Chains A and B, each alone.
Chain A
Amino acid sequence: MSTSTIEQLVNQPYKHGFVTDIESDTAAKGLSEQTIRFISAKKAEPDWLLQFRLKAYQHWLTLTAPEWPNVNYPAIDFQNISYYSAPKQKKTLKSMDEVDPELLKTFEKLGVPMNERAALAGVAVDVIFDSVSVATTYKQKLADVGIIFCSISEAVREHPELVKKYMGSVVPVKDNFYAALNSAVFTDGSFCFIPKGVKCPMELSTYFRINTQDSGQFERTLIIAEERASVSYLEGCTAPKFDTNQLHAAVVELVALDYADIKYSTVQNWYAGDEKGVGGIYNFVTKRGLCKGVHSRISWTQVETGSAITWKYPSCVLRGDHSVGEFYSVALTNHKQQADTGTKMIHIGKNTRSTIVSKGISAGGSNNSYRGLVRIAPTASGARNYSQCDSMLIGQQCSANTFPYIEVRNPTSQVEHEATTSKIGEDQLFYFQQRGIGAEEAVSMIINGFCKDVFQQLPMEFAVEATKLLGLKLEGSVG
């Protein structure tokens, strides 16, 4: 098979590119203290939250955008972004029937028939549509076991003590440039609280969607699992096609207390820009989990296929003794996409363990980097880390890089790191073809085999979606 066949396989237009026409209540462009007061007033927030935002904003003013990642993009004009945009739907909804039919159609096109999915798959979907939650399903069922699953705005109103206690405790407002920006201007996001001893009876899921041109989206997610609680959370993303770059700077905080277990899965397929690299989302996200209690466990699984630039490091701070951190990632870049992604495992507690499995696939003229940090603090006796990062290159214009930082200060720890890079060989393709399997299918099978270790970690329905997604993304690029 020739290179051109595989290139054809990869070059497929973005299937979710459409704009839903809903009247938006959008703030004027620009960022100032007024903007922040406007957002806060719009959302009728208590004073402590306004102070939280202002503190973050004051600190953000002193920072400059970081330049160390292995990505290139024109400087972002933060004054040319609208920081608030909410669909005009003020009345509270009692059932799905009340949801704007236009909105429902959008989800239909994305393949998320909410009511169907909710009923058949038993998934509660907290739908984020341009920053404000409009519908939450299965809330009652969750409430019965004491789980709180709602938007951050609602949580601020209903459970201020929890939000106040945990927000900013994992990612402080001064953490980094984009986290500070998010803390100042975040509009909405998800909040999830699993009380002591409760195992969440279903997979919790949020469907993010960026709409409205030029509205940077600043989500804030906070998940707390109390002692012996466990939860699996899914995050899936698609975005309509636009030519101007959109900034997305989310913050996700996870807190796991004694024996708690949080599993956070992401499938990200935002608009990546066209073949020439015009347009696409800038995905600059701060995700961090704190294993606060003993024997707690936080597991990140991500499948990153979209965005013009992906720049995120879902991390685990392993503070509790015997706590476990996991990171499973597939990052696929094509055309002019750039990804600088990886994880940080900070071992502080005794006998803490972490596993990192990262698979990078780089095609077209894209640039794919793994950047990771494994730090063993002097207190982390008996800590154990295993890291594996494999790269696959498809084509001669792409690049794959690995930057693993390993910092060890305790001799009783064991740290292992392995990395390899490879390509899809002519002989492998030949082997498939002579067994009657077409080139296209062969490529898809090889890639799925390459990513198997990660896909196995995904919940069932996501695994299916991810497998299909990689196939679609690579249509036309191997040879």
Chain B
Amino acid sequence: MQSQLEAVSIIQALVAGGKGLAPSAAPWLNERRALALERANALRLPSIRDEEWRFTDISMMGRVPFQLPVPHSVIPDISAYVLPEAQWRLVFVDGIFNVGLSSLGAPVKGLSISNLGDAIQNTPQLVVGHLAQHAHYENRLFCAINTAWLRQGAFIHLAKEVIIKDPIHILYINTQAHATVNVRSLVVLERAAQCTVVEDFVGLGEEATFTNAVSEFAVASSARLHHVRVQRETPAALHIAACAVSIEQDGVYQSQSIALGASVSRYELEVLQKGPGVEVVIDGLALIKERQLADTHTLMDHAYGSGQCRQLHKTIVDGRAHAVFNGKVLVREGAQLTQSAQQSRNLLLSSDARVDTKPQLEIFADDVKCAHGATVGQLDQDHLFYLKSRGLSEARARNLLTYAFGAEIVARIPVRSLAAQLERAVMTQAQTTL
């Protein structure tokens, strides 16, 4: 009970902090922040008694003395996280935009990449229609707090028919122990624009940090967005994130989200189909061990017909770790000719590992093809035997099979250097289980 009260007190500090923010020059932003603040005041902290948070215990919020970050000028070493393919890089240190570490490349016509705060000031016409318009916070306390704190973040805008081949890297890096950081991404693709965005959440050191992230992606008709999300916070961190994607007619959204770090992490992805004929790919991989908990909640909302969605979520769970997956596919009335397939595959590596998965279908249209599947199990004895009969040791065979299980997702990441880094992480995890 005590920890619950203290958890509320950090929330109160956040709410008070949101209130205390200097008003922005844009009245519309002040208004949106005020509305979110009002909502944050009304909502209570979710607990395991709430159906949506049944398996995800965030009471550590009360045990760790989280606080707002202190301004400082230490420049962290980010060389290990730099992606050579990416000429555009936005870096946020403890939630604050760092110009020195960022790389804004050569200007390209129709492409705007900047700190969200600058965009609100300089090009409000690109922001006002989208910021805080996609991620709903009515029933989500953390999203409401994030919105009430709106001032900085990553902003990417592609004008119509602009195609950017190289990936754009957003690096959120936490350096301070116990820091509570609100971060925000807004990516807007106008008609027929294309790009790849990498959101990278990194924690330096071993200490606990608390990241509250909200991302909004608006994909206009015929635009294509490839979204890669990597969560590699410190092992003690708390990471709570929401991502809202809205796709108009014939738009394409592909994503891979990889969860490696954090003591407790939660990722809520909501994809809303706002026109017929969209294509969506949602891939996820959680690679966890020791006492980690990784929770992924996804919602694919087929509000229009002829949409296609393919989802594959995998978890590799070792030690006493706990993976949670809740994938909901909603086919609304009239969304005919929808094709939606979802798979949840879970690999348990130890006797204390735990998986709770709930693939969920809600269908209100009759001419649709929907399917979901879920499996939970350990490595297949036949597969192991096959490899051993080829002369591999038990250890190597297990290692290889675990690697292959995770690599299926990692191999789909279009950024070669990042995929290689993650493959190594999967390999290391596979080896520690021996």
Evaluate contact between A393 and B371: CB separation under 8 angstroms: no
The one of A378, A401, A410, A413 that contacts B360, using a Cβ cutoff of 8 Å: A401
- A26 interface residue per 8 A CB criterion: no
Evaluate contact between A402 and B361: CB separation under 8 angstroms: yes
Evaluate contact between B364 and A399: CB separation under 8 angstroms: yes
Query: Which bracket fits the contact residues of A?
Result: 35 or more
Residues on A with C-beta less than 8 A from B346 are: 408
Evaluate contact between B358 and A398: CB separation under 8 angstroms: no
Alpha-carbon distance between A421 and B358 when the two chains are bound, in angstroms: 17
- B98 interface residue per 8 A CB criterion: no
Known interface pairs A378-B351, A411-B351, A414-B377. Does A421 touch B370 (Cβ–Cβ under 8 Å)?
Answer: yes
Q: Which of B346-376 contact A (CB under 8 A)?
A: 346, 348-376
Residues on A with C-beta less than 8 A from B375 are: 414-417
Residues on B with C-beta less than 8 A from A417 are: 359, 372-375
Contact with B along A422-447 (1 / 0, CB 8 A): 11000000000000000000000000
- B378 interface residue per 8 A CB criterion: yes
The one of A412, A418, A420, A423 that contacts B378, using a Cβ cutoff of 8 Å: A412
Nearest opposing residue in chain A for B365, CB measure? A396
Known interface pairs A391-B363, A411-B350, A415-B377. Does A406 touch B358 (Cβ–Cβ under 8 Å)?
Answer: yes
Q: Which of A377-411 contact B (CB under 8 A)?
A: 378, 391, 393-411
Alpha-carbon distance between A88 and B73 when the two chains are bound, in angstroms: 90
Residues on B with C-beta less than 8 A from A408 are: 346, 348, 354-357, 376
Residues on B with C-beta less than 8 A from A378 are: 351-352
Evaluate contact between A393 and B376: CB separation under 8 angstroms: no
Size of the B side of the interface (Cβ < 8 Å), in residues, is 35
* A-side interface mostly: strand
Alpha-carbon distance between A414 and B362 when the two chains are bound, in angstroms: 26
Q: How many A-B residue pairs have CB under 8 A?
A: 110
* B-side interface mostly: strand
Alpha-carbon distance between A477 and B367 when the two chains are bound, in angstroms: 15
Evaluate contact between A404 and B374: CB separation under 8 angstroms: yes
Contact with A along B330-347 (1 / 0, CB 8 A): 000110000000000010
Evaluate contact between B351 and A416: CB separation under 8 angstroms: no
Alpha-carbon distance between A386 and B357 when the two chains are bound, in angstroms: 15
Known interface pairs A407-B356, A408-B376, A419-B361. Does A398 touch B366 (Cβ–Cβ under 8 Å)?
Answer: yes
Evaluate contact between B376 and A406: CB separation under 8 angstroms: yes
- A68 interface residue per 8 A CB criterion: yes
Residues on B with C-beta less than 8 A from A422 are: 369
The one of A397, A401, A413, A419 that contacts B376, using a Cβ cutoff of 8 Å: A413
The one of A401, A405, A419 that contacts B371, using a Cβ cutoff of 8 Å: A419
- B77 interface residue per 8 A CB criterion: no
Nearest opposing residue in chain B for A391, CB measure? B363
Nearest opposing residue in chain B for A398, CB measure? B366
The one of B360, B364, B368, B377 that contacts A403, using a Cβ cutoff of 8 Å: B360
Residues on B with C-beta less than 8 A from A405 are: 356, 358
Residues on A with C-beta less than 8 A from B382 are: none
Evaluate contact between B376 and A414: CB separation under 8 angstroms: yes
Residues on B with C-beta less than 8 A from A399 are: 362-364
The one of B353, B361, B373 that contacts A421, using a Cβ cutoff of 8 Å: B361
Known interface pairs A415-B375, A416-B375, A420-B371. Does A396 touch B334 (Cβ–Cβ under 8 Å)?
Answer: yes
Evaluate contact between B371 and A68: CB separation under 8 angstroms: no
19 pairs, CB–CB < 8 Å, chain A vs chain B? A393-B363, A396-B333, A402-B360, A404-B359, A404-B374, A405-B356, A408-B355, A408-B356, A411-B349, A414-B378, A415-B375, A416-B375, A417-B373, A417-B374, A417-B375, A419-B371, A419-B372, A419-B373, A421-B368
The interface of chain A, by Cβ under 8 A from chain B, is: 68, 376, 378, 391, 393-423
Additional pairs, 8, CB under 8 Å, beyond known A68-B51, A393-B365: A396-B366, A401-B362, A404-B374, A414-B375, A420-B370, A421-B371, A422-B369, A423-B368
